[in-house]
Amino acid sequence: MTSNEIILDGSVLEGGGQLLRIAVALSTLISQPISIHNIRAGRRPPGLKAQHAAGLRLVAELCQGRLSASDPGTKEIHYQPGSEVLLSRMYTADPGTAGATTLLLQVSFPCLLFSPESSPSTEHHTELILCGGTNAIQAPQIDYTAHVFLPFIRHHFGLAPTLQVKMRGYYPKGGGRVRILIPAVPGPLPSVNLTHRGSVIAIRGRSYVAGLPAHLAAAMRNAAVSSLQSRGIDPRIVDIETVKEEPHDAVGSGSGIMLWAETDGDCILGGSAIGVKGKKPTMVGEEAAEELVRNLAHGGCVDEYMQDQMIIFLALAKGRSMVKTGPLTLHTKTAIWVAEQLTRAKFEVREESASSFIIQCDGIGYTRARHTLIES
């Protein structure tokens, strides 16, 4: 333990992997040593899983940081970030399991966004090759990243990452492979003002199977369309493609559906479900539709998953951001807690109605050019 190390209790609030990911990413950006104990204390089993360990090792590699034991099952880590994130390289992370590639992206992506130069450079494009599961339970599907998360990042922060799914990977084999190219910017990121959602103008989706009969994808799609229509959605604005993955494009067998709604207020909200053994495909389609409708019902501008994923970016941005959301999730409360522990970002949550809230953040205006924090 170093004298300036910040100690975090990994069991606070959500008490899972998200706390770990946000803390390590922010620690890397601001060169702040941290110690996290009671990692995933409420989970069974507690401690790091292979996916968490792979993400920690990846981020330590990005900045040549020092990381204490990171084996699966580890319940306490000490992390001393290096002084500089090394850009314009290729990095690979592979947990050796079906652990979610999207969660590996969550911990590493913020670390690679900022160029050390004070003006834009075309040279700093960092390549990530992330292996594991692309469509897993208890994690965003890679289709969510492609159709909800990255469009949010591009539209509101002016960033231009690209994503390619080279191979789909399904539980329990994993074996998926995702390539992300991340151009760095000088920063700071702009603030976000997103309080008027507007009307839904389109609902799109992807219903897929791999190693299973194609009719299951059609059944999920049809059930989702019927469920949306029964909840007042005009079927003429719904467009859900069905996909049967080719054997050379996927490892293992799997199925699921990803839906996203687009509004005339430049908002995108998602809903998804994964097929599992014993669950009828119609139930999978209905579950995704119900989740999307639930995310639309509160009138907010982001869904429950984007709500917590945006927090680290609002904290890093310059100025005051305001985003209208639905009720705060435990993941979001955790993300806010970690951001305020490690930075000078200040969050305020105001209730608009029984089901809608405004998340306000006075961000720190982070830039790597001065390797310090700029006051907003």
Is residue 59 a contact partner of residue 80, using CB atoms and an 8 Å limit? no
| 170 labelled ligand-binding | no
| 208 labelled ligand-binding | no
| 106 labelled ligand-binding | yes
Residue 370, judged by CB atoms within 10 A of its CB (0-12, 13-18, 19+), counts as: exposed
- HSE-CB of 295 using CA atoms within 13 angstroms: 28
Residue-wise DSSP of 321-363: EEEEESSPPHHHHHHHHHHHHHSS-EEEEEE-SSS-EEEEEEE
| 64 labelled ligand-binding | no
Residue 192, judged by CB atoms within 10 A of its CB (0-12, 13-18, 19+), counts as: buried
Active site residue 125: no
Q: Say if strands 193-194 and 238-245 run parallel, antiparallel, or are unpaired.
A: unpaired
User: Which contiguous run of DSSP H or E holds residue 305?
Assistant: helix 304-309
Amino acid at site 49: K
The residue from 52, 147, 156, 331 that is catalytic is 331
Count Cβ atoms below 10 Å from residue 219 Cβ, excluding itself: 21
| 306 labelled ligand-binding | yes
Peptide bond into 81 cis (omega under 30): no
| 360 labelled ligand-binding | no
- Please report, in angstroms and rounded to a whole number, the separation of the first and last CA atoms in the chain: 31
Amino acid at site 157: F
> Which residues are documented as binding site?
106, 305-309
> Which residues are documented as binding site for ATP?
106, 305-309
Catalytic residues, which ones? 331
